[in-house]
């Protein structure tokens, strides 16, 4: 009887305690309901795409978009690859290797479907895919919630100005985070490496930066050969143990990179262009950066801070750390590589130590996101296909009824193609490397007498910016006279 009474008594005490706990008022932590991590990530993704959209809708066409579209339209119309150059009179006898032919066809096909809106849609679509791929990549490295959102927004801020250029470069900003994602997953399951040859096949046929993609694979393979203790002593991690599988993937990717309309010649052409000193001398994005611009300084500073933080914490992904250091040094020599540095920095940022945000910081972050979203919605837009005010539109309008070869500024040659006037040179610098490029800049800088060069190429008109050395020279040259003056350009005709 006593044991039974004790059992009943014990049961009653336990039940009373449970009832009290269940009916107790919830604490403040239970009342506050946090936004799910995935929802925060999607908000960051949406805000990043919104920013790219705002920049794309406010962007006026200026340079490479013109010849990219013209090349794609030519291939669609003729149902074949371009052979001899159809857009210049100086290199019309020379084969133009269109190493971005896939991206040019994509832009031309989109233009055929939706008209001038294709320019913005091209940038928005590829920019969105870049952010989607980056989100998958940083999540594979363990980032969640607010960190993912901040990474995506920061990346959009850094890349938007590049994406609106509507070039094959935009595709490379999709392929690189996809490659890094595949390699991250392959460290646990090497079957993910099987997708790399297909990725390289797409990459080589859309942009010459396939060399970056192959370089990433080589670095991953090199670290897999390194002793495991070496990475640990350097504070590194993420070394792949699948050396054989990576080697096979690299060989297969090299083979896939030779599957182009030009065979392996396209890959060799990309190597030749990337090592050509003359091309690098004249293309601004291939030169050292100008840190007088705050935006340029931040684009370099943010990845550097992230890299230093990873080294300081002795928690450094060996692949991304190596790529980050190499790209930073090379980007100081040729700033075109900084866009890839930003993508690599996203992976490094994903591995930094986590820190819980307090309620005030969460509210401030949410308010900042809301204000940024409103700013994107309120950003001014220009009509689809609008041309930059810095281009000589009126001058070319006045030349419509006057056939003849035109000599115009380097940055105006692309627009000349859009107006169906053959060029001396244009933004396809790799096509003109050699004597033509030398002659052009000799005339531009007046390091030679312009008349023999212009006469040799039967130039009938010169469209040039006023108050420049060449314009001043031609105004005093009896063989030339001004036939049109516009706010942007002077038009000279041969007497």
**In three state form, how does the secondary structure of 193-225 look?**
HHHHHHHHHHHHCCCCCHHHHHHHHHHHHHHHH
Tokens standing for residue 373: 């979203």
- Please tell me the distance from the alpha carbon of residue 58 to that of residue 260, in angstroms, as a whole number: 35
43-57, 362-376, 400-414: lowest mean pLDDT where? 362-376
Q: What tokens does 297 get? A: 């300084």
Residue 412 confidence (pLDDT) above 70: yes
The fraction of the chain above a pLDDT of 90, given in percent, is: 73
Give the domain ranges of the chain: 35-167+355-385, 393-494
Residue with tokens 């009896």: 478
Highest mean pLDDT among 9-23, 186-200, 275-289, 364-378: 186-200
Q: The tokens 């670095």 sit on which residue?
A: 219
DSSP 88: B
DSSP conformation class of 462:
E
Task: Name the band, by pLDDT with cuts 50, 70 and 90, for residue 102.
Answer: very high
Q: What percent of the chain has pLDDT above 70? A: 93
- Distance linking the first and last C-alpha atoms of the chain: 128
Question: Has residue 392 got a pLDDT over 80?
Answer: yes
The sign of the dihedral angle between the CA atoms of 359, 363, 364, 365 is positive
Distance CA 255, CA 232 (A): 34
Measured distance CA(35)–CA(335) in Å, rounded? 39
- Supply 130's token pair: 């870049």
pLDDT at residue 11 in the model: 37
pTM value surpassing 0.75: yes
Which candidate, 49, 64, 85, places its Cα nearest to that of 285? 64
pLDDT digit string, tens, across residues 262-318: 999 999 999 988 888 777 777 777 788 888 888 889 999 999 999 999 999 989 999
The conformation of residue 427, written as its DSSP 8-state character, comes to S
Q: What's the CA dihedral at 75, 79, 84, 85 to 10 degrees?
A: -20
- Residues 6 or more apart whose CB falls under 8 angstroms from that of 239 comprise 187, 223, 224, 226, 228, 231, 318
Q: Give the integer Cα–Cα distance in Å for 307 and 164.
A: 28
Instruction: Give the C-alpha separation, 125 to 110, whole Å.
Output: 11
What pLDDT score does 206 carry? 96
In this prediction, residues 196-206 reach a mean pLDDT of 97
Residue 421 pLDDT > 60? yes
Query: What mean pLDDT is predicted for residues 441-445?
Result: 94
Checking if the pLDDT of 33 tops 70, the result is no
pLDDT value at 16 more than 50:
no
What are the tokens at 458? 């039967």
d(CA 465, CA 392): 9
What average pLDDT is seen over the chain? 89
* DSSP structure class, residue 139: H
d(CA 401, CA 196): 52
Q: What is the DSSP letter of 116?
A: G
Asked whether 463 and 411 are in contact (CB, 8 A), the reply is: no
Rounded distance, CA 199 to CA 256, Å? 9
Residue 2: per-residue pLDDT:
41
């Amino acid at each position: 009887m006593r044991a039974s009474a004790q059992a009943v008594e014990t049961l009653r005490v336990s039940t009373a305690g449970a009832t009290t706990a269940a009916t107790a008022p919830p604490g403040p932590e239970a009342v506050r309901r946090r936004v799910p991590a995935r929802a925060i990530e999607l908000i960051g993704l949406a805000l990043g795409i919104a920013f790219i959209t705002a920049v794309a809708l406010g962007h006026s066409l200026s340079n490479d978009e013109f010849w990219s579209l013209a090349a794609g339209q030519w291939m669609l119309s003729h149902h074949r690859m371009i052979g001899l150059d159809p857009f210049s009179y100086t290199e019309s006898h020379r084969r133009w290797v269109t190493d971005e032919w896939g991206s040019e066809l994509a832009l031309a096909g989109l233009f055929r479907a939706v008209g001038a809106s294709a320019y913005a849609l091209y940038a928005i679509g590829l920019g969105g895919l870049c952010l989607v791929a980056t989100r998958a990549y940083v999540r594979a490295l363990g980032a969640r919630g607010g960190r993912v959102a901040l990474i995506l927004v920061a990346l959009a801020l850094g890349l938007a100005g590049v994406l609106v250029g509507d070039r094959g470069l935009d595709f490379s900003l999709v392929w690189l985070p996809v490659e890094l994602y595949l390699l991250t997953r392959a460290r646990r399951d090497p079957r993910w490496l099987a997708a790399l040859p297909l990725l390289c096949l797409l990459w080589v046929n859309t942009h010459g930066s396939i060399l970056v993609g192959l370089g990433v694979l080589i670095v991953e393979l090199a670290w897999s050969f390194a002793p495991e203790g070496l990475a640990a002593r350097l504070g590194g991690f993420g070394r792949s143990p699948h050396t054989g599988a990576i080697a096979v993937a690299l060989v297969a990717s090299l083979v896939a990179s030779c599957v182009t309309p030009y065979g392996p010649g396209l890959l060799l052409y990309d190597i030749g262009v990337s090592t050509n000193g003359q091309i690098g001398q004249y293309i601004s994005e291939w030169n050292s950066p100008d840190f007088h611009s705050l935006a340029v300084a931040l684009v370099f500073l943010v990845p550097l801070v992230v890299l230093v933080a990873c080294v300081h914490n002795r928690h450094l992904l060996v692949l991304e750390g190596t790529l980050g250091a190499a790209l930073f040094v090379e980007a100081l020599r040729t700033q075109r590589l900084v866009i890839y540095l930003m993508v690599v920095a996203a992976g490094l940022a994903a591995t930094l130590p986590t820190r819980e945000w307090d309620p005030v910081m969460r509210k401030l972050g949410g308010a900042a996101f809301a204000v940024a979203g409103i700013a994107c919605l309120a950003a001014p837009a220009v009509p689809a296909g609008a041309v930059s005010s810095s281009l000589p539109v009126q001058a070319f309008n006045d030349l419509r009824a006057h056939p003849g070869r035109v000599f115009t500024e380097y940055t105006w040659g692309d627009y000349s193609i859009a107006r169906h006037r053959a060029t001396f040179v244009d933004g396809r610098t790799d096509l003109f490397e050699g004597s033509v490029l030398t002659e052009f800049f000799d005339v531009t800088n007046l390091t030679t007498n312009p008349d023999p060069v212009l006469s040799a190429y039967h130039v009938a008109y010169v469209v040039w910016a006023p108050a420049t050395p060449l314009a001043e020279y031609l105004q005093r040259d009896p063989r030339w006279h001004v036939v049109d003056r516009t706010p942007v350009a002077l038009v000279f005709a041969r007497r």
